[in-house]
Amino acid sequence: MSRSAHPAGPRHADVLPEGHYSAPPADLNVLDPKVWAQTVTRGEDGAVRVGGVDVKTLAEQFGTPAYFIDEADFRARARAWRTAFGADADVFYAGKAFLSRAVVRWLHEEGLNLDVCSGGELTTALSGGMPADRIAFHGNNKSAEEITQAIESGVGRIVLDSFQEIVRVAHIAHSLGRRQRVQIRVTVGVEAHTHEFIATAHEDQKFGIPLAGGQAAEAVRRALQLDGLELIGIHSHIGSQIFDMSGFEVAAHRVVGLLKDIRDEHGVELPEIDLGGGLGIAYTSDDDPREPHEIAKALTEIVSRECDAARLRTPRISVEPGRAIVGPTAFTLYEVGTIKPLEGLRTYVSVDGGMSDNIRTALYDAEYSVALVSRASDAEPMLVRVVGKHCESGDIVVRDAFLPADLAPGDLIAVPATGAYCRSMASNYNHALRPPVVAVNDGEARVIVRRETEDDLLRLDVG
Ligand SMILES: *Cc1c(COP(=O)(O)O)cnc(C)c1O
């Protein structure tokens, strides 16, 4: 009997189905500290705690699905980045990873700056108390309203992304009687993802102005002529979830090459260089991210080496980590619903959320881990796929993972490392109510973004 005639039929029992998984871990009760927030532990009773609070208590108090963020861990990671880069550099947290007013306050208190890329993010940043001069405004298609809002509020820099924007920002700044500090975002022909970077002509993207063909040099020429602009530096962002520093090496080399050309042509040494974000985190035990101090050391050395070679004063460096700060600090807590074993394939475990609270698996084929957290279990590992409750077969939260075979409806499971790009990309698909974000710290849990309600849904629907 051919397999194609019975695609979902049973397969030989000892042939594991396709997937990205290694052998099951020796003990499913052990939580790998690489992928879980710092204060997460499994208590004597088998239940998991974060910030000293039991997940069963959290589920009772706040419901599921919900995101729980470890405030102490967030602050510690923010501080580690700040300390690693020191006083001669700036760390801009990329707000698009996850932004709320509580987070803005933590960042401010820990001495970080903030990147925003929309009027909504800017409003949240200002409302959370971030001083405007520590905010950078990004985006490839900022509206005139957004540019005006940014300049009027006094943002520290606007990152220019196109020739049209150079003129537009200059014009608006001029008409407001301001001189706006700006950087120009360039594409350096490097695209980095995870363990590889591709040094091809990767200018084929919507962001930035290509170095290739002298376009970036022309953008600089124009920006330097406009009264409304104070050009302070060059910006480059090469990718996401990067572990290998060699992509940054190539990027820094090329950006410094531009700084040198600018010095030679205009007699100006631009004082800043921004190397963007994109540093990777551990989603599963197979990932080995670098520590902030290693990243800081590598980037600082690369830039000063390149500048020495070009006989340039080393500019002030800034970086923009989003995921690397917030990603590891949160997990999503779900309640297990239906469990569907497909013999010879895997067991589908449905949870009370899904692609509406974590689109990354469907969108990027992202990998995640999962653990049973409401109790410990000594049952055998079973291969599972954790899926959501949406009307879409691509609604997968964790593609391949192992959970104990005695898993039952009502158990709580948690997916770690969901702090970045989960709540911020959450949707109302199927009119799902977007889950709350709860900060846990020192035995106390506090809602920082509340759960949506059906009233919220109906309020937008004006009938
Ligand atoms: C998305 C983005 C970042 C942050 O990326 P992470 O992968 O979250 O570190 C930083 N800078 C720019 C310009 C971005 O677009």
What pLDDT was estimated at residue 22? 74
CATH number at residue 269: 3.20.20.10
Domain boundary among 321, 342, 375: 321
d(CA 10, CA 24): 21
String of DSSP letters for 56-95: HHHHHHH-SSEEEEEHHHHHHHHHHHHHHH-TTEEEEEEG
**Residue 90 included in any domain:** no
Domain boundary among 302, 321, 340: 321
Q: How far is the CA of 296 from the centre of ligand 1 (A)?
A: 16
Report whether residue 322 contacts ligand 1, using a CB cutoff of 6 Å: yes
Tokens of 29: 């009760």
The catalytic residue positions are 391
d(CA 134, CA 116): 11
Q: How many CA atoms lie within 13 A of 162 on its CB side?
A: 11
- Indicate if 430 and 316 belong to the same structural domain: no
Range of the domain at 232: 138-321
Q: How many domains does the chain have?
A: 2
- Provide the pLDDT confidence category of residue 435 given band limits of 50, 70 and 90: very high
**Residue 193 included in any domain:** yes
| Buried/exposed 147-186: b ≥16 CB within 10 Å, e otherwise | bbbbbeeebbbbbbbbeebbbbbbebbbeeeeebbbbbbb
- Indicate if 282 and 332 belong to the same structural domain: no
- Indicate if 170 and 241 belong to the same structural domain: yes
Whole-model pTM over 0.75: yes
Mean pLDDT within 310-314: 96
Evaluate whether 207 touches 235 at the Cβ level (below 8 Å): no
* pLDDT tens by residue, 350-380: 999 999 999 999 998 999 999 999 999 999 9
- Indicate if 341 and 418 belong to the same structural domain: yes
- Indicate if 245 and 340 belong to the same structural domain: no
Domain boundary among 261, 286, 321: 321
Report whether residue 279 contacts ligand 1, using a CB cutoff of 6 Å: yes
- Indicate if 276 and 339 belong to the same structural domain: no
- Burial (0-12, 13-18, 19+ Cβ within 10 Å), 50: buried
- Indicate if 156 and 258 belong to the same structural domain: yes
Mutate to test the pocket of ligand 1, among 96, 135, 205, 360 (most ligand atoms within 8 A of CB): 96
**Residue 105 included in any domain:** no
CATH number at residue 26: 2.40.37.10
**Residue 75 included in any domain:** no
d(CA 312, CA 253): 13
Mean pLDDT within 426-437: 98
Give the 3-state secondary structure of residue 121: helix
**Residue 110 included in any domain:** no
**Residue 153 included in any domain:** yes
- Provide the pLDDT confidence category of residue 155 given band limits of 50, 70 and 90: very high
- Checking if the pLDDT of 18 tops 90, the result is no
* pLDDT tens by residue, 30-44: 999 999 999 999 999
Tokens of 106: 């933590």
Report whether residue 138 contacts ligand 1, using a CB cutoff of 6 Å: yes
- Indicate if 303 and 372 belong to the same structural domain: no
- Indicate if 289 and 406 belong to the same structural domain: no
- Indicate if 148 and 289 belong to the same structural domain: yes
Mutate to test the pocket of ligand 1, among 237, 242, 255, 319 (most ligand atoms within 8 A of CB): 237
What pLDDT was estimated at residue 197? 66
**Residue 191 included in any domain:** yes
Mean pLDDT within 265-294: 96
* pLDDT tens by residue, 181-215: 999 999 999 877 766 666 544 677 889 999 999 99
Tokens of 421: 């790009």
Percent of the chain exceeding pLDDT 70 equals: 94
Tokens of 65: 């699905």
- Checking if the pLDDT of 19 tops 80, the result is no
- Indicate if 353 and 411 belong to the same structural domain: yes
**Residue 147 included in any domain:** yes
- Indicate if 449 and 317 belong to the same structural domain: no
Cis peptide preceding 271, ω within 30 of 0: no
What pLDDT was estimated at residue 447? 98
